[in-house]
Structure 1
Amino acid sequence: MLFNQATQTLRFLTLMSSLFCVTLVMAQDADNTDVTDNNETMRDATARPRRPLNNRAHRNMDATKAYRDLAYTADAHPRQTLDLFVPEQSDGPVPLIIWVHGGGWAAGSKDSCPPLRSGYTQRGYAVASIGYRLSGDAVFPAQIEDCKAAVRWLRAHSKQYNLDSEHFAAWGSSAGGHLVALLGTSGHETSFDVGDHLDQSSRVQAVCDYYGPTDLLQMDSHAIPSAVLKHNSPRSPESRLIGGPILENKDKAARVNPIPYITKDAPPFLIVHGDQDPTVAHHQSQLLYNALKEAGVRVRFHTLEGAGHGNGFGGPELDAMVQGFFDQHLKGKSPSDDQLIAIATSSPAVNRNPNAKPSALVPQTRRPLAEQRSDQRRGIPWQVIERREDSNSDGRVSRSEFKGPPILFNRLDRNGDGNLTQEDFADDAGERDDAKTSEAVPN
């Protein structure tokens, strides 16, 4: 009897551990892209209640028209909507950047839109942030069908919103990176085009893929030693995406992979991935780069040395690279004849935490599971939480403001006071004192 009880307890703890890892990764994945917050939403053209704007947003209120919660299909699911941001002034139709959020295909939302925060509407672009059905709502291919339906809707309404329908780009991170890659490679694949506006093309003219998965069946075999999430598990985000264990449904897993759809007519790609990503192995982007290169598709693969799953991204070099990519392929600036079709480059990751130890951005060796989970918690910087969740700009995030899962809030709230502050993100008492001191010193 004691043996049976012990066995049942072990199974329960194993299950809870797996569920916790999946939940935590999805929460981190929802918007872990570290993009400098240059501009936020400016002026809402609808009657939807808005959260309070900070001073920086108020300074740009007249720069952008915002259209929110636009349904892109008939009888839309609540997630089959998009937000559209268009420059107030332009000389003609403007190119469009379409943002697709991450979240393990099971979490996240269109509400966080890095291209908007980075000021692309002030650079002469329109920006759309699209929602799509998550794996808890419907299994694949619902997610790519929704993305394609959104693209077709945007083209069908391009004149109404002053969009240049010949110059659409897709940009996404993690699960969103996977979906934009699949958008790019499956432009000719009609089986994913279902629903409304089928007379419109779902092709995009450029793709920026931040650390998106490709071959689900190779994710575990190339994971870094410190990786915790097991993608081959029947409870993994990938298995939930296709509606069954990926190892028992290899044909369904293969259909998710953007690589088999590649043709020489695929649009140009910019792929960015950290070589210490514990969630989506760097190898996943290497596979995509190799296949695009072999097909003769214009592609740049940039590795951030020491970067994790979005951690270590950003900085002037990467920002200029992404903007240059969009300027080149959406604003009619053709590459010179002598420019390489395929190129792989690298640069050091950006360390945005001045208190981080030097080893934080170098390859990690296997460590105890408790330490790995602690690092996962710290993988969400306070600046990201504050920017995304602090709706009243009071320097703290209450439980009611936090849009992530309650289990994650409880782990982040280290002092248990029901609010998230910078103090909760310090590793020990000494670092908390440093954090308090830094708050009083202007950046």
Structure 2
Amino acid sequence: MRIAVHVGALALAAVALTPVSASATAQEPTPSPTVAVPATSDDVYGLSTETIAYGPHRRQQMDVWWTPDGQQRPGVFLIHGGWWSSGDKRYMKEITRGYAELGYTVFNVNYRLSGDAPWPAQRTDALAAIAAARKHAERWSFDPGNYVVVGFSAGGHIAAAVGTYGDGVSGLKGVVGLSPIISPLQAFTDGDSRKTTDRGRRKLRHAAIKLAGGCAPKGKCSRVWASMEVAWHASRHDAPVLTIHSQDEFVPPEQSILLRDQLAKVGVPVTVLTQPGANHATALYREPGVAERVQTWISERIG
């Protein structure tokens, strides 16, 4: 018999975040007190699920899937893609379920989109979600000192930005990116209509401009573009990284090679894998063997 476990709503306390170090170029705002959203239920044997608001904005919510057996379990944070301007955690449900069934406590995160707030709001939200999860770890059978962040496309950029925030984020043992945008500056250059007819690259250029608040990477906007560059914030206590790209997709493997080269200088390992074809993000993840490769890498870091 399959059992759906229903969980009551929870009023979470306020989460206060401060910048970890001066390597973050923009001040991260402090999230407001969190509130609970009515629990959802899912017909998954032995798992509990609920949706939690970690901030006051409607996008500042995450779904939590966990095994309520009293054991501390490693955590997986999932960050969806969508050009920073669209997408939703509901599209990550099957991937969330998969990691929960493997025994992890899983946090499927929504964040403010570029139309809601410019960078660094998206990184701020990911950090706030992690802080809320760690603060209430006991409720979700979560080990707050043992987790990874997995991001897809624009979500991969946010995940990698968390990974290079400050001089390491407490408890973070690894970052995985599926088609991650490591360098919005490179995407801006690659998407120049005078240089390419690739619709994906041209759209990504415009998406990066929108993320930066609507301005190109020069003059008064240079600081926010610098903050968006993941590799520029590499430091020796950052988490190891795995990235996977399709060889011919519009977010090329060269994006991740930039991060690999910078993190190598401070002794942090980065593995960059490529697949044939042009599949992107979740489509790439669903190719034969890719999810298994990611899961193996994660298990080697958090068990």
Give how far 1:168 is off. Answer: 1.3
Give the alignment partner of residue 81 of structure 1, picking from 61, 74, 98. Answer: 61
* Rounded Cα–Cα distance in structure 2 between residues aligned with 1:208 and 1:175: 12
What TM-score results when the alignment is normalised by the length of structure 2? 0.79
- Following TM superposition, the consecutive aligned residue runs of length 4 or more in structure 1 with deviations greater than 6 angstroms are none
* Rounded Cα–Cα distance in structure 2 between residues aligned with 1:218 and 1:71: 34
1:169 aligns with 2:148: yes
Q: Which amino acid aligns with 2:146?
A: H
Which has more radius of gyration? Answer: 1
Q: Unaligned regions of 5+ residues in structure 1, if any?
A: 1-40, 52-56, 190-200, 332-443
Q: What's the Cα RMSD here? A: 2.6
Q: Which amino acid aligns with 1:211?
A: S
* Rounded Cα–Cα distance in structure 1 between residues aligned with 2:166 and 2:147: 12
Matches within 5 A, 1:390-405: none
* Rounded Cα–Cα distance in structure 2 between residues aligned with 1:269 and 1:125: 19
* Rounded Cα–Cα distance in structure 1 between residues aligned with 2:89 and 2:4: 16
Give the alignment partner of residue 217 of structure 2, picking from 237, 241, 247. Answer: 247
Equivalent residue number for residue 65 of structure 1: 48
Matches within 5 A, 1:298-377: 298-310=269-281, 311-331=283-303
* Rounded Cα–Cα distance in structure 2 between residues aligned with 1:215 and 1:123: 32
Q: Deviations over 1:131-161 (max 9, x none)?
A: 1111111111111111101111111001122
Give how far 1:294 is off. Answer: 2.8
Equivalent residue number for residue 281 of structure 1: 252
Q: 1:205 to 1:232 in 2, by over 3 A?
A: closer
Q: Deviations over 1:194-229 (max 9, x none)?
A: xxxxxxx66522111111112222225446955114
Give how far 1:122 is off. Answer: 1.9
Q: Which amino acid aligns with 1:306?
A: G
Give the alignment partner of residue 175 of structure 2, picking from 196, 202, 207. Answer: 207
Give how far 1:184 is off. Answer: 0.6
Matches within 5 A, 1:166-245: 166-188=145-167, 204-222=172-190, 227-228=198-199, 229-230=201-202, 236-245=206-215
Paired positions, count? 265
Q: Unaligned regions of 5+ residues in structure 2, if any?
A: 10-37
Give how far 1:309 is off. Answer: 2.1
SS of equivalent residue, structure 1 residue 218: helix
* Rounded Cα–Cα distance in structure 2 between residues aligned with 1:202 and 1:82: 20
* Rounded Cα–Cα distance in structure 2 between residues aligned with 1:315 and 1:259: 27
Give how far 1:314 is off. Answer: 2.5
Give how far 1:315 is off. Answer: 3.8
Q: Say whether the 8 Å CA contact 1:110–1:130 is kept in structure 2.
A: yes
Q: 1:122 to 1:227 in 2, by over 3 A?
A: same
SS of equivalent residue, structure 1 residue 138: coil
Identical-residue share of aligned pairs (%): 28
